[in-house]
Amino acid sequence: MQDKINQIQQTAEHAVDACTALEEIEQQRVRFLGKKGEVTLLFQHLKNVPVEEKPQAGVLINTLKDHIHNILQLKKERLETAQLEKQLLSESIDVTLPGQNSGFGKIHPLNRTLHELVDIFHSLGFSIAHGPEIETEYYNFDALNIPSYHPARDMQDTFFLENGMVLRTHTSPVQIRVMENKKPPVRIIAPGRVYRNEAINYKSYCLFHQIEGFYVDSAVSFAELKGVLAFVIREFFGKETQFRIRPSYFPFTEPSLECDIMVKGKSGWMEILGAGMIHPQVLKSVGYDPQQVQGYAFGMGIERITMLRYGIDDIRLLYDNDLRFLAQF
């Protein structure tokens, strides 16, 4: 009997020690202490033991039973603790790890130019107006003294829509829309997108931005136009920037001019805007009396100005949304 008890005790200790999961503990409990378990069977063998040895044998089997019960309980608690630790570890955050950086956004170079120019014009007393990008031919052309036979209406330049409308080719139609609704004096700038059906290359794109500006009052002079342009150019590009104006032609201004600037470190003159005194025909088309009021107008290309300022040599970079390019500003 003693040998049998020793043998069961050893087997049980090894088996319990080898358990790696709670289910296995339960299996071992059934194996030794269950209804048909090895220890339970020992009690049944008691009846074959001689009477004088019975009490002692009973004590031994009970001790074995308690022992196995204890080591099962101990192993169970150890496995539970290990499981809990594993769970806690997987749920915890290491607060000493470096944070995840999501990076800062920046203002697009075109918008920077736009905002700065708008601020400069604000300081001169100009207010902002907006007009639609889908325009009628009347506002984009006729009212601006561009008759239907004018080359600017050529299919090459204008996106014509199926419903007879056009994508505005310049911001000048906003002049007409504002003047139709407001009596002089008007002093307005109109920034926005314009579209041209041109071959796309390093210096032209199918869409770009302009700022239109105009001032109409009872005594507006060409000299004032020149002064305003000089002020804006020097504020934006710096006091040393040289500029020149050349005679030009636009159907909606008379006389007309184009303005070039010489940016430090760049050779040659670069054209940045067209301007002139608003044509009497245009004033008439909005119901103004050209004998009573005059005005000047100008339109400047934002892409051109941005490229000159930052030394960008391909207009398409401004529309590619390539972070390697945009992060430089």
Residues that bind ligand PHE (CB under 6 A): 170, 172, 212, 250, 253, 274-276, 297-299
Report, in Å, the least distance between residue 162 CB and ligand PHE: 24
Nearer to ligand PHE by Cβ, of 71 and 272: the residue is 272
Least CB distance to ligand PHE at residue 175 (A): 7
Task: Select 24 or 217, whichever has its Cβ closest to ligand PHE.
Answer: 217
Cα–Cα dist 153/169, whole Å: 10
* Closer CB to ligand PHE, 191 or 299, in the complex: 299
The residue with its CB nearest to ligand PHE is 299
Contact call for residues 46 and 62 (beta carbons, < 8 A): no
Task: Map tokens 């204890």 to a residue.
Answer: 70
Query: Which is nearer to ligand PHE, 170 or 177 (by Cβ)?
Result: 170
Pair type for strands 186-195 and 127-128 = parallel
Closest CB 145 distance from ligand PHE, rounded Å: 11
Output the smallest distance, CB 102 to ligand PHE, in A.
40
CA distances from 94 to 85, 89, 90, 98, 319 (A): 15, 10, 10, 9, 42
Is the Cβ of residue 40 or residue 248 nearer to ligand PHE in the bound state?
248
In whole angstroms, the minimum distance from the beta carbon of 324 to ligand PHE comes to 32
Secondary structure letter of residue 279 according to DSSP: P
Nearest approach, Cβ of residue 126 and ligand PHE (Å): 14
CB 268 → ligand PHE: shortest distance, Å? 20
Q: Which is nearer to ligand PHE, 8 or 166 (CB)?
A: 166
* Closer residue to ligand PHE in complex, CB, 64/174: 174
Least separation in angstroms between residue 297's CB and ligand PHE is 4
126: helix, strand or coil: coil
Q: How far, in Å, CA of 139 to CA of 122, rounded?
A: 26
- Nearer CB in complex with ligand PHE: 212/303: 212
State the Cα–Cα distance between residues 27 and 227, nearest whole angstrom: 98
Task: Provide the 10 A C-beta neighbour count for residue 194.
Answer: 22
Structure tokens given for 113:
């130019």
Instruction: Compute φ and ψ for 209, nearest 5 degrees.
Output: -120, 145
Count CA atoms within 13 Å of residue 197 on its CB side. 13
Residue 150 CB, nearest approach to ligand PHE (Å): 13
Q: Would you say 9 or 172 has its CB closer to ligand PHE?
A: 172
Quick one: which of 172, 133, 181 has its CA closest to 152?
Answer: 172
Cβ-based neighbours of 192, under 8 Å, separated by 6 or more: 130, 131, 133, 171, 174, 209, 210
What single-letter amino acid sits at 57?
A
> Residue 36, CB half-sphere, CA atoms under 13 Å: how many?
1
Alpha-carbon distance of 39 to 36, in angstroms, equals: 8
